[in-house]
Homo-oligomer: A and B are copies of this chain.
């Protein structure tokens, strides 16, 4: 490990990579309020209700991402200065994540519009937070560019084959105890290269790394199916979202707090106080109604149960129009369905969740999809130097259609009745018999 001496100022243990070396500046960044806060945000939100060991944090993941960024920079032959910037961007890439990570995106979208992404807050913090700014010094604008411009360096941090995913797939595997995410990291890194096109270079993998790349995209798929989209985790996440909704209605949380545009410094101040636990305590102390009840239920693992489940496939929903109708339900349709079912059950709609799941089998792109896609595709460089798409090279393929399922969750004792209501409403049989 030939880290040049500036990255040996501090070493942090990592169960995946042994030790992670840091520069002085990186160590200062680590000890900011903004970064320390990530040690109170679980990487996988409520996944611990299914996998009790999955309580690892965004803080640990941020360090791992920095480490992999370094290895990729080395493989790509980046200069010192560029490497310094990419490492820091990797370290900071999740600084804008809210409580329970991606779950927080949902309430943020209610206020800031559908285009909202936690990266907006990441950029805002890098741009405006005083403590972070002091530590970044003259690198600030360069680091920011990684998140705003479209370059090979930004691909390292965010693309179909970025160090973010490479780290979390393996790390989430380690901490949940499943093998699904154990793709062949070493081989991907060793076969990574750049492909020059008009304008700029793109990340690509040499043909020798094709199977490793295959293992990577399958790992991604499998982790989604087994871990990230596990129904019990979805239930807890959804209950939390309902609690936030109620808290906003009850007034123990103010819309302004979630609104980015207004007063940016005030927003950042408020935002940096939010973490998995502070938001719970805000509600436990501020709410006297449903928000509080929901949070207590999550904390005591009194979760809603699956009352109804149907995959939106030809086999289970034969009628094509009905299938289309169900798959197209929007937030209003869902809310009104929840209200209707709740009304018939005689309970508050906060306790009925209609969930339309749509798991995209990402990374499987046909030529047609490549044309339409905004993200950056992964190219394979053949022995003869010609690029090809992985999907054109591999005998393994995936349906380009997402896996869609419709769920209804409700309290245990209403399960049977809720199923009957839902079957009646959606005109389709549940595959669960209760």
Contact = CB atoms under 8 A, between A and B. Distances in A.
A53 B182 contact: no
Nearest to A179: B182
Nearest to A71: B1
Contacts of A177: 13-16, 18
A41 to B, nearest CB: 11
Interface string A34-70: 0010011000000010111101110110010000000
Interface in A212-260: 214-215, 218, 221-222, 225-226
B56 A12 contact: no
A324 interface: no
Interface string A1-23: 11110000001111110110000
A287 to B, nearest CB: 14
B221 A396 contact: yes
Nearest to A207: B431
A416 interface: no
A59 B52 contact: yes
Contacts of A174: 15
Contacts of A71: 1
A261 interface: no
Nearest to A224: B211
A53 B431 contact: no
A55 B52 contact: no
B218 A396 contact: yes
Contact of A1 (B2, B33, B392): B2
A176 interface: yes
Interface string A340-375: 000000000000000000000100000000000000
A57 B61 CA distance: 18
Give the oligomeric copy count. 4
B218 A13 contact: no
Contact of A36 (B226, B300, B384): B300
Contacts of A382: 431
A432 B432 CA distance: 55
Contacts of A3: 2
A69 to B, nearest CB: 14
A36 B301 contact: yes
Contacts of A19: 186-187, 190
A397 interface: yes
A33 B176 CA distance: 23
Nearest to A11: B190
Contacts of A285: 285
B13 A176 contact: yes
Interface string A297-333: 0011110000000000001000000000000000000
13 contacts: A13-B176, A14-B53, A14-B177, A39-B52, A40-B277, A55-B57, A179-B184, A180-B184, A277-B280, A361-B396, A383-B432, A396-B399, A397-B398
The 8 closest A-B pairs by CB, nearest first: A15-B177, A2-B2, A277-B277, A395-B399, A281-B281, A18-B186, A179-B182, A52-B60
Interface of A: 1-4, 11-16, 18-19, 30-33, 36, 39-40, 48, 50-53, 55-57, 59-60, 63, 71, 74, 174-180, 182-184, 186-187, 190, 211, 214-215, 218, 221-222, 225-226, 277-278, 280-281, 285, 299-302, 315, 361, 382-384, 392, 395-399, 401, 403, 431-433
